[in-house]
Amino acid sequence: MRPLKKIKMNRFLKVISSFVLIAFFAGCGDDDNGADIPPPRDYAVQYATEKVAIEDYLHTHYISGVDADMNITIAAIPEGGTQESIWDQDQYPLLNKQVTANNVDYTIYYLSLREGVGEAPTKYDNVSVAYRGMLLDGTEFDNRQFPGAPSALLGVIEGWQEIIPLFKTGIYIDIPGSPDPATFQDFGAGVMFLPSDFGYYEGSRPSIPAYSPLIFSFKLYQLEREDHDEDGILTNDETVAGTDPADYDTDGDGTVNFLDIDDDNDGTLTKVERQMADDGDPLTPVQYYTFDMLPTCPGGTLKRHLDPNCFED
């Protein structure tokens, strides 16, 4: 499982912000100078080892503090210490998500420090996140407390794509005339403990050896919904409830809806089909249906671009 590349960035600031994240999360592996590279380890065998290591970490470390800005400090329980482990404490719930990948059933553990009060992103959205990354031995490999413009979740490691959408954004506070910088309040915050298959697996990065489980503490500030094929329909509206947009292809042409500029394959672009009836006045700007106003397929309940029965021969 390798990081995916974002299809398009719309503004220069977004490009710069995404470059910073993608350069770290999706960079190439170390140059082997032509040396033989051993095949990747068996996923199930490797995860069996990593699961023990992650759970041992959760049993032998404790939360020594969480400040008002949701910065968490984790420390090892000293010999003979009575601190309550991350596994046993209940102030900040230790939760888990079950994910099947590479024919292995994974348990991804994560802490919920605060859920957040705004919207929850999907993995197809752009997000603005502050984070700190560590290895199980405490080595810190990155620390970014001042995120830029929202950047693509599809451009980073898959562990983020699984866990970040379980949290919600915060509230943007910018008081006119105040000398203080804008801030976010009540944002979602947590810690994820990732098996290496949801990080870099056999790949390595500076300060990150191959097959390393990763720990990320994070704060989800804001999100930006994406329209990958620029047809005027947001990616998360390009599918039916309960189906991943990457698995939904209305017309069966091999291109999923969120990348298909003609979702029903009738020869008319989806963007054009969204145009409202013209009143004949050439000075009247072209208007488009919002998603809620899009018509359903005659005799059906789904929007036209989502209903495979609504094709024109």
Topology of domain 12-224 in CATH is: Chitinase A; domain 3 (3.10.50)
Nearest-angstrom CA–CA distance, 80 and 167 = 36
Q: If you write DSSP's letter for every residue of 15-75 in order, what string do you get?
A: HHHHHHHHHHHS------TT---PPPPPHHHHHHHHHHHHHHHHHHEEEEEE-TT--EEEE
Per DSSP bridges, beta strands 126-135 and 140-144 are antiparallel
pLDDT tens, N- to C-terminus, the chain (313 residues): 344 333 333 333 343 344 345 444 544 344 445 456 778 999 999 999 999 999 999 999 999 999 999 999 999 999 999 999 999 999 999 999 999 999 999 999 999 999 999 999 999 999 999 999 999 999 999 999 887 778 899 999 999 999 999 999 999 888 888 888 778 899 999 999 999 999 999 998 889 999 999 999 999 999 999 989 998 888 988 888 888 899 999 888 999 999 999 888 888 888 887 876 666 666 666 677 777 788 888 878 888 888 887 765 4
Interatomic CA distance for residues 32 and 269, integer angstroms:
46
Residue ranges with strand state E in the chain: 61-66, 72-76, 94-101, 104-114, 126-135, 140-144, 151-152, 171-173, 183-185, 188-194, 214-224
Q: Domain ranges for the chain, please list them.
A: 12-224, 228-313
